Chains A and B, each alone.
Chain A
């Protein structure tokens, strides 16, 4: 079976750094994706990891450890507009559709 876990909610302060964790158990592995979704809007692609290590993209970084079935999304210099849900998704093998976690709702407060 497939299982993707991430915290339901997090709160962080404007200007701070926040780390959103994701753990997964899948039959195989062919990529992990992070998406941002503002309320009522479409998910938008943030990052992709297929090899172990850190991928950095501006204020956003994503880390993957395949042996631990673990990823995190790191958001730096938080802004109010970063208040959104963050979805972790895994492709378990080949070119199968992504399987999504339930998302982490991040609230950025002043």
Chain B
């Protein structure tokens, strides 16, 4: 069966520090991969979308970047965190058209 792993679960980082969140998927090949951010009490904002290795689509200009170095690995990064980067970050995967997205358990990031 397919599983998605996302880590760490919680992270507290100072302003100006770098960020690296990792997401891996097991049990499937060539998934579509997504990064979402959820602000407190808000909906899910699509940040990045990938259909394959090295192929990244950015939804909104911001202080973050994403990379997909392997088929089932998706990484969210920042060189210098801002206070506004705080939130709940969710990775998800799907197999394509008209199929559901499966979410990881999320990373709670607090920038202080």
Q: Do A and B bind each other?
A: no
Residues of B within 8 A of A (CB): none
Residues of A within 8 A of B (CB): none
